[in-house]
Chain A
């Protein structure tokens, strides 16, 4: 089974790097979409089947937190995993995201090869390298 992924980040370079990391890591990437902000991401969610959202936090137009609030308020996306890939390290703000329904978070910078095991864990697969997702997320 492959997964359709939506990458939301205002940096075009970072979106490319995340996609490259997914491909190189062995993550089973199906179709994928890119959005520059939460507003664009909402539009893409309406018209495409997406299995996983990888989202930045600090973005113009609509930031990651407001995007998360928006999809949780709609109700159709209760089971959609939303993982933040962010430079944010403030535990209180990260805790707010988890309380709002985020599935987890990874901190930028990240080692590309570690994305696969973390996301495979999120998607309920055992990638077999011993990394375990916790409610505190995965800080690498």
Chain B
């Protein structure tokens, strides 16, 4: 799983964004720092004592666009609770689609979590960059972790 996650992850993100959020996924190879607020959700994939965390980051602007499309609301009607719930569900669907593409039958999805809402790049590592009209709007990373922490 460590080496070959990028292509299936791109497929998973594209499927989820296009099917449920009516948003075309654009991927950018050039890492760039977030320069605005972002939201973060994560989901664990476990097998025996091994765990990987899929982390999804989105700028508040992008998350609000996704929430607007997902819930059929105007951007300014999407509440903070809507955003957090939508970010959890996004991580859940991306994780599920990713596993099905990896053909990793013995891995199990955990319950997704909304982690934080921060204004800096603190804790953000390299990953698959998402962009829209040339602006970086999100990132997905897959990192190995520990089961309890």
Residues of A in contact with B (beta carbons under 8 Å apart): 10-14, 16-17, 20, 58-60, 86-92, 107-111
Q: Is B95's CB under 8 angstroms from A87's CB? A: yes
Given contacts A17-B20, A59-B111, contact A108 B86 (CB under 8 A): no
Indicate whether B89 reaches chain A with its CB closer than 8 angstroms: yes
Cβ contacts under 8 Å, B105 to chain A: 90-92
For the complex, count residues of B whose C-beta is within 8 A of A: 27
Given contacts A109-B20, A110-B19, A111-B19, contact A11 B88 (CB under 8 A): yes
Of B27-35, B96-104, B127-135, the segment with at least 4 beta carbons within 8 Å of chain A is B96-104
Q: Is A87's CB under 8 angstroms from B92's CB? A: yes
Majority SS at the chain A contact face: loop
Cβ contacts under 8 Å, A89 to chain B: 96, 99-100
Q: Is B109's CB under 8 angstroms from A11's CB? A: no
Q: Is B93's CB under 8 angstroms from A87's CB? A: yes
Q: Give Cα A107–Cα B97 distance, bound, in whole angstroms.
A: 9
| Interface CB pairs A-B, < 8 A, 5 | A12-B85, A14-B89, A90-B99, A109-B20, A109-B93
Cβ contacts under 8 Å, B92 to chain A: 11, 58, 87, 108
